[in-house]
Amino acid sequence: MTAPADEYLLAALRIAAGTDPVPDRVSADARSVLALHLPGGIAAVPLATAAGEGARSAQTHDRPRARRYAAAGLTIDVEPVVVAGRVDVAGQISPAPGTGSLVEVRTPHLSDTRAPSEGGRFVVTGLPAGWISVVCHRPGHPPVFTRWTHVRP
């Protein structure tokens, strides 16, 4: 009997040799993930936030729902809230990203783009529950994006 690690190695060798084709679902999933990639984008790192911070946050499992990220001189505050099984995302980009900037709220299946207010605030409503990421697009700068966050109903 072979160990599970050996079985995985043998399967990987069969795939590499072309004798075991990659299942269509795996290829489709890989293409979907690649489509979510932002070439030249800058990943914002999560920052700690004070408990209960956020305009509409409630404590969930001892963690605030508001999240804060920073990169490239920007701070991105994101607050997902579930309303009637759908996700509303409110947030703010600081400092305000300026004229011509766009904020994109992405899910694996769709994205919605808004122009932020003069103060850098944005809201996107009616998204499906699940994974979300926020991207700030500024003219003349690479996009800055947050990590993917899972929002449960």
pLDDT at 2 over 60: no
Q: Name every residue whose Cβ is closer than 8 Å to that of residue 83 and which is 6 or more positions away in sequence.
A: 125
Query: Mind listing the pLDDT tens digit for each residue in 82-138?
Result: 999 999 999 999 999 999 999 999 999 899 999 999 999 999 999 999 999 999 999
Q: Helices in the chain by DSSP H: which ranges?
A: 4-17, 24-35
Between 6 and 88, the more confident residue is 88
What is the C-alpha to C-alpha distance for residues 88 and 56, in angstroms, rounded to an integer?
A: 11
Query: Mind listing the pLDDT tens digit for each residue in 12-36?
Result: 877 777 766 777 888 787 777 777 7
Query: Mind listing the pLDDT tens digit for each residue in 45-73?
Result: 999 987 555 555 444 444 447 999 999 99
**Global confidence as pTM:** 0.75
Under DSSP, the state recorded for 72 is: T
